[in-house]
Structures are given as C-alpha cells and as structure tokens.
Amino acid sequence: MNISKIFILLGIVFLLIGFLWSFIGKLPGDISFRRGNFSFHFPIMTSIVVSIILSLIFFIIGRFR
C-alpha cells in the first residue's frame, strides 16, 4: 500500500471520528462535577462507545488482512 493512500485513509478515519465525537461528546452516564472555579468531566459512557466502535473497526480490518 502506498504511503499517500495510508495518509488519505487516516484522514478519512479522523474526519469520521471528529464527526461522531460531536454527536457522542456527552452521553448519559458521563460524570460531570462543577463547584465554584473547579469542574471535572469523566466520559465513562463515551469511552465505552468509542472502545466498541474501534474494536469493531479493527475486527473488520483484521478479517480482510
């Protein structure tokens, strides 16, 4: 595979991730805490969804190799 095709593929993957991230940025189940000047956000559900999506992508890529 040509290096230019790899960069194009990576660019498309990053575009898709960015597009999906705008929709799943704050799911129910994410922990948000704000008090005064301090705020804390821990995206538990977002991390789980991203992990499942990446696992499926790598599984599909592995099947074609």
Continuous segment of H or E residues that includes residue 7: helix 3-23
pTM higher than 0.75 for the full model? no
Residue 39 burial (CB < 10 Å; 0-12/13-18/19+)? exposed
Q: What mean pLDDT, rounded, does the chain reach?
A: 84
Residue whose entry in the numeric block shows the structure tokens 């960069």? 7
Alpha-carbon torsion (44, 47, 51, 57), positive or negative: positive
Amino acid identity of 23? Answer: F
The 10s digit of each residue's pLDDT in 3-24 is: 888 888 889 988 988 887 777 6
What total number of domains does the chain contain?
1
By residue range, what is the domain housing residue 26?
3-64
pLDDT at 1: 63
